[in-house]
Structure 1
Amino acid sequence: MSDFSRLRRAAAVSVPEAAARLGVSKSSAYRWENGEARAPAHVLRALEKIAGMPAPRPERFRFIDLFAGIGGLRLGFEAIGGRCVFTSEWDRHAQATYRANFRDGPDHVFAGDIRAVGAEEIPAHDVLLAGFPCQPFSIAGVSKKNALGRAHGFACDTQGTLFFDVARIIAHHRPAAFLLENVKNLTSHDRGRTFSVIMRTLERELGYDVSWRVIDAKGFVPQHRERIFIAGVRRDLAAPVDLSQMAVPDPAAGPKLRTILHAEDGTEPRDPAYLDDAGRVLPKYTLSDKLWRYLQDYAEKHRRRGNGFGFGLAGPDDVARTLSARYYKDGSEILVPQGHGRNPRRLTPRECARLMGFERPGRADFVIPVSDTQAYRQFGNAVVVPVVEAVARHMEPTIASLAGAVSRHPAGVAAE
Structure 2
Amino acid sequence: MIHAQPLELLKQARNRFTQREIAEYVGKNTKTIRRWEKGETPCPAMLESALRDLLQKPVIGTTPSGRSFRFIDLFAGIGGIRMGFEAHGGKCVFTSEWNEFSKKTYIENYGDHHPFVGDIVPYPAENVPDHDVLLGGFPCQPFSIAGVSKKNSLGRPHGFKCTTQGTLFFDVARIIATKRPKAFLLENVKNLLSHDKGRTFDVILQILRDELGYEVHFKVIDGQHFTPQHRERIIIIGFREKTGFLWDDLKLPAEGPRLASILHKTDGTEPVIPWDSGRFFDHGKRTVQPRYTLTPNLWVYLQAYAEKHRAAGNGFGFGMVYPDSVTRTLSARYYKDGSEILVWQGKNKRPRRLTPRECARLMGFPDSFQIPVSDTQAYRQFGNSVIMPVMQEVARIMMPHVHALIAYERESIPFTLPLFA
TM-score (norm 2): 0.76
| 1:69 and 2:77 are equivalent in the alignment | yes
Q: Which residue of 2 aligns with 1:27?
A: none
Decide which of 369, 372, 387 is 1:369's aligned counterpart.
372
- Residue 88 of structure 1 is matched in structure 2 by 96
**What is the deviation of 1:278?**
2.3
Say which SS state the counterpart of residue 215 (structure 2) adopts: strand
Matching residue within 382, 387, 410 for 1:384:
387
TM-fit CA distance, 1:341? 2.4
Match of 1:337 among 344, 361, 365: 344
2:31 alignment partner in structure 1 = 47
Structure 2 Cα separation of the partners of residues 68 and 262 of structure 1: 28
Give the direction of change, closer, same or farther, for the CA distance of 1:340–1:300 in structure 2 (3 Å limit). Answer: closer
Q: Give the corresponding residue for 2:225.
A: 219
1:119–1:240: structure 2 CA closer, same or farther, 3 Å change rule? farther
Secondary structure (helix, strand or coil) at the match of 1:261 reads: coil
Q: Does the alignment pair 1:346 with 2:348?
A: no
Deviations 1:207-256 (A, max 9, x none): 0010100001111110000000000101xx32252325433222xx2110
SS at match of 2:281: coil
Please say if residues 344 and 352 of structure 2, whose CA atoms lie closer than 8 Å, have aligned partners that are also in contact: yes
Once residues 70 and 318 of structure 2 are traced to their aligned partners in structure 1, the CA distance between those partners, rounded to angstroms, is 43
Name the aligned partner's letter for residue 191 of structure 2. Answer: N
**Shift of residue 396, structure 1, vs aligned partner:** 1.4
Distance 2:139 2:244 in 1: 25
Asked which structure has the greater RCO (Cα within 8 Å, sep 6+), the reply is 1
Instruction: Specify every segment of 5 or more residues in structure 2 that has no aligned partner in the other structure, as ranges.
Output: 1-6, 12-18, 20-27, 37-49, 61-65, 144-159, 413-421
1:127 aligned residue:
133
Q: 2:329 aligns with which of 317, 322, 326?
A: 322
Amino acid at match of 1:333: E
The superposition leaves residues 191-218 of structure 1 with CA deviations (integer Å, 9 ceiling, x where unpaired) of 2111011000000000001010000111
Alignment match, 1:173:
179
SS at structure 1 position matched to 2:321: coil
Distance 1:285 1:134, change over 3 A: closer
In the alignment, what sits opposite 1:60? Answer: 68
Q: Deviation at 1:46?
A: 5.4
Determine if the alignment matches structure 1 residue 306 to structure 2 residue 313: yes
2:96 is the alignment partner of 1:112: no
1:248 aligns with 2:243: no
SS of equivalent to 2:268 = coil
Give, as a single letter, the amino acid of the residue that structure 2 aligns with 1:225: R
Q: What CA distance in whole angstroms lies between the structure 1 residues aligned with 2:286 and 2:325?
A: 23
Counterpart residue number, 1:164: 170
Question: Conserved in 2, the CA contact under 8 Å of 1:264 and 1:280?
Answer: yes
Mapping 1:1-80, distance limit 5 Å:
47=31, 60-80=68-88
User: Gaps spanning 5+ residues in structure 1: where?
Assistant: 1-8, 14-20, 22-43, 138-153, 410-416
Distance 1:295 1:135, change over 3 A: closer
Query: Distance in 1 between the 2:249 and 2:209 partners?
Result: 20
Letter in 2 for 1:210: V
| Identical counterparts, % of pairs | 59
RMSD: 3.1
Any idea what the Cα deviations from partners look like across 1:150-180, whole Å, max 9, x if unmatched? xxxx9xxx99710010000000011010000
Looking at structure 2, the residues matched to 267 and 290 of structure 1 have their Cα atoms a distance apart, in angstroms, of 33
Q: Name the structure 2 match of 1:403.
A: 406
| Structure 2 CA distance for aligned equivalents of residues 385 and 78 of structure 1 | 11
How many residues align? The count is 346
Query: 2:266 & 2:347 partners in 1: Cα distance?
Result: 15
Q: How many angstroms apart in 2 are the aligned matches of 1:273 and 1:159?
A: 34
Counterpart residue identity of residue 167, structure 1: A
Residue in structure 1 matched with residue 263 of structure 2 by the alignment = 261
CA distance in 2, matches of 1:87, 1:259: 32
The answer as to whether partners of 2:332 and 2:381 remain within 8 angstroms in 1 is yes
Distance in 1 of aligned mates of 2:408 and 2:350: 57
**Superimposed CA distance per residue, residues 275-323 of structure 1 (whole angstroms, 9 cap, x where no aligned partner):** 1232310010000110001110111111111111000001001111100
CA contact (8 A) 1:210 1:241 kept: no
